[in-house]
Structure 1
């Protein structure tokens, strides 16, 4: 359930608007129009007399994109000269790009989360025997999480409609996977028919949601609320289960700590202020804060799998007697 809350907002992400104060201002619009007429070809993709650095060309910064970027900063300066607040552009704060990366801090911290999952699943494999209960379930969870953080990195590197869709869809897949893993942990001894039915339901639900997001306009509100409901439900169940088993299984306190800390750092997503040094906004700091939590959750998974394996061995020993 690690990225449970971790991505309850990674898909809660941010309700992105079509236009904001900055890009809606006449100053910005005139600037972009003039820049395009002077520097760009008719299709807005290429420069008439300028050779882009290779990394900008590699990340598909078109002439029109360059005009928007340059005019964004001119508009910010114009707003500040008039003592006005920093405006947003297309639903985002202005960021200084780094080698063509639109949101360098969020992109880097997404890589950090990816690394945390990779490192912890390696530790998991080293300490947990492969015949332990739920061994492959948590591997599946890790794969889904790695995929989500990969697309988060790509999206924060370059924001295109397809990268946005994949970021939101994969973020939701982690929230749903977290809920699925929680249910499978609670009902792991249930009949096979029940477990197969639960699995089928979750797969169908994910496919339906992604198909819905892919059709027509992106429904940010629906996607956000669905993530909140599922993530909150999963967090409550994990916390309740941990509280109930805290005496018999002392290690479950790690799960409870994870849920509480994940909920606290999620408050960063509520704060909406201009980025520090035009690089570190609250969303990127949220990505930074989730990386250490991954270690706590995997530590719980390692202890839990060892506990379940010990229970199975005790049952087998009783049968032999």
Structure 2
């Protein structure tokens, strides 16, 4: 359980800022003012004279966005010439864009997670009968996770307020659905239809309340991160306790234990706040890369567990039939 201690420690040392030394510097501010005056219309959306490349139009880069990007690199060079470290801008490290994509590594690795979920869903559907217990629970789990990775890719392609909100709220939906699946599995034998419906309504209410809060006024990064980690840590702890209790009867639960442990371990990448390698690969993108292989573990566990539950259900029905 050591990784839970690390995550909890991370929880109480979060400090996210929207302003950084790079965008506050005089080099950046003077460059931005000059660029806007010379190139942009008054609203900052369009260029006065020059033509914008098609791939930047398709990814919705405004004239002001272009000025921010160009001035960011002028500022980075200015800092390096003075012997200073690479600065952050608006709370983020500078990234080299690729065909208009702001964070190409995170974009590609988000798509990798999406394809991994869809690949394993196909395997799940082939390996588990639709009338098996928890079949539809895991099916919906995949849909929610896949939806979240779509928005993760879009957000890393273009970081604007609406894509940021949809990415963060979708990421929260993954945390919630993991907790939901855990509760449904652990308390399956005492969870009546009424309790299941009540729990579903509560989880939906929590999700929509959280999303609504994030969309109102200043985006609360610290609150969002803390809530995600609290729910994620509780979910991990419950999975571990349950797996320990039933490991002798269901030895395949080691897959669930490994998934939870490795998920906590790779999350530690988020603790590392260093400039991206080649201005492309940062710790956040490497975290996305590390989560993709873990998808195989959780779906393999889901396949084994659904087949196990079906086997028990069939055996129970046969015993009841023989005793009649």
TM over 0.5: yes
Q: How is 1:1-321 mapped onto 2 (pairs within 5 angstroms)? A: 16-189=16-189, 190-321=191-322
CA distance in 2, matches of 1:72, 1:23: 8
Q: Secondary structure at the match of 1:259?
A: helix
The 4+ residue runs of structure 1 with deviation greater than 6 A are none
Shift of 1:48: 1.7
TM-score (norm 1): 0.94
Q: CA RMSD of the aligned region, Å?
A: 1.4
Shift of 1:46: 1.3
Output one character per residue of 1:169-211: Cα deviation in whole Å (capped at 9) or x when no partner: 1110110111011001112222222222211211111121111
Output one character per residue of 1:38-95: Cα deviation in whole Å (capped at 9) or x when no partner: 1112221111221111110111111111111111001000100111010000000000
Output one character per residue of 1:212-271: Cα deviation in whole Å (capped at 9) or x when no partner: 112222111111111111000000111111121111111000000111111111110000
Q: Is the 8 A contact 2:16 2:222 kept in 1?
A: no
Q: Secondary structure at the match of 2:175?
A: helix
- Larger relative CO (CA 8 A, sep 6+): 1 or 2? 1
Q: Secondary structure at the match of 2:93?
A: coil
The total of aligned residue pairs comes to 310
Unaligned regions of 5+ residues in structure 2, if any? Answer: 1-7, 9-13
Q: Is the 8 A contact 2:255 2:298 kept in 1?
A: yes
CA distance in 2, matches of 1:15, 1:227: 15
